[in-house]
Amino acid sequence: MNETGENEAKPDRGDGAQPSRRVVLALGAAAASTVVTIRPALAQTAGSVLNCQIPVPAPQAGGSYIAADGSLVAPGTPGAFAPAPRPLTGEEVKALLNGGRTPAGLDSQSAQAYANYIRRLQAGMSGFTCYASLQMPR
Amino acid sequence: MAGPTYIADDLQHVRLVELDGLTALFHRPSGMTHILAPPAPQILAALSEPGDAGELAVRMAEAFEVEGGEEALTARLAELEAAGLIRRT
């Protein structure tokens, strides 16, 4: 990927041989971490979290079908459901998890599979932050 | 280079505070606070418009001497996506 500039972005050796006015920006090691998330014990965000979104499934698993128990299975698996046509909003997920209300445009069986998928979300997965926010006491 | 296209959340949805080399970011929609180290804030700024990894690399190279290749950039994008700060379009 030459367009990253990796060929032209020679590390600054600190010898002053090639002074540059441009700021060096290291992308870091692939295994490094540049984002630390703080999850408040008490969210003061009533209302706003209802606007967050949960993709079903996460984009990394794009195309996977969702089995009735919420697990991800190969596309086309009999009895499993196609990915949600759009990300579900926090408000929809809250209603779905609490009372089983089916989000608009979805059928109830696939919605239940999506609900089970969302219950299985773990930290680091797309949508987890939104789901975790919904669980916080108001 | 083909690949997913990403966009950062609208800056109206976040509050950014510089902290001596780090950046504290409050994400209003989720109520979460994130501490970002370079190059995460710079990537967010460069993704105010949609772009894939290749386009992002070009944008960043316009402003910075970028050190690191595709693997590192892909890792940073995955990290920001997992944190909910960028999303695929």
Query: What pLDDT, in 10s, does the model give residues A50-88?
Result: 778 899 998 888 889 999 999 999 999 999 999 999 999
The average confidence (pLDDT) of chain B is: 89
Closest CA to A35 of B80, B87, B74: B80
Q: Give the CB-side neighbour count of residue A88, counting CA atoms within 13 A.
A: 33
CA atoms of A26 and A35, how far apart (whole Å): 15
This model's pTM is above 0.90: no
Q: How far is B4 from chain A (nearest CA, A)?
A: 9
Q: Is the Cβ pair B32, A10 closer than 8 Å?
A: no
Q: Best residue in A10, A25, A27, A49 to probe B by mutation, most B CBs within 10 Å? A: A27
Domain residue extents for chain A: 48-135
CB within 8 Å: A52 and B30? yes
State which residue of chain B sits closest to A45, comparing Cα positions. B31
Q: What is the ipTM of this complex?
A: 0.83
Question: Which residues in chain B have their CB less than 8 angstroms from residue A33's CB?
Answer: 79
| Nearest Cα residue to B30 out of B77, B88, B67, B84 | B84
